[in-house]
Amino acid sequence: YRVSLWKESENSLLDVVTETVYNETTLHLTEKTFKPIVMQMPFILVGAQYNLEYLRSYGFKTFGDFWSEDYDNEPNNVRLESITNTLIELNNLSLKEKAQLQKHLTPIVEHNFNWFYSKEFEELLWKELTTMSNAW
């Protein structure tokens, strides 16, 4: 409906997405995951195991070339610790390193934004919805 905190987010390196589902085995993405995509921000996804893989299956790109996304494969009791360690590593970068990193992340951020608003993504979602509706 509405994306808020634009001003607060503009000086952030990334968004830490805390999804609705964490402990479950269900792959589940909500508006929380798509908010940084719409705001053209990199993100780390704190969600159910394999949620990053699930997001990539929809054509989105993630940031595993720039920081470890191994946490996506970790069991619940390890995943949050792995995410925390990644955030500590990123926080410990100098301002210059953070600026350089942000510059290198731009192509992924732009791809995700453009893909989210693309006709192809819309058609993919409609096809999935139709298939699911017909299955009922």
Q: Tell me the pLDDT band of 1, cut-offs 50, 70 and 90.
A: very low
**Residue 118 above 50 pLDDT?**
yes
Q: How confident is the model at residue 11 (pLDDT cuts 50, 70, 90)?
A: confident
What is this structure's pTM?
0.89
CA distance 66 to 71: 14
Which residue, chain included where needed, has tokens 């600026």? Answer: 99
> Over 11-70, what HEC string results?
CCCCEEEECCCCCCCCCCCCHHHHHHHHCCCCEEEECCCCHHHHHHHCCCCCCCCCCCCH
Q: What's the rounded Cα separation, in Å, for the pair 24 and 98? A: 33
Average pLDDT, whole number, for the chain? Answer: 92
Q: Is the pLDDT of residue 46 over 90?
A: yes
Average pLDDT over residues 13-22: 93
Rg for the chain, CA atoms, rounded: 16
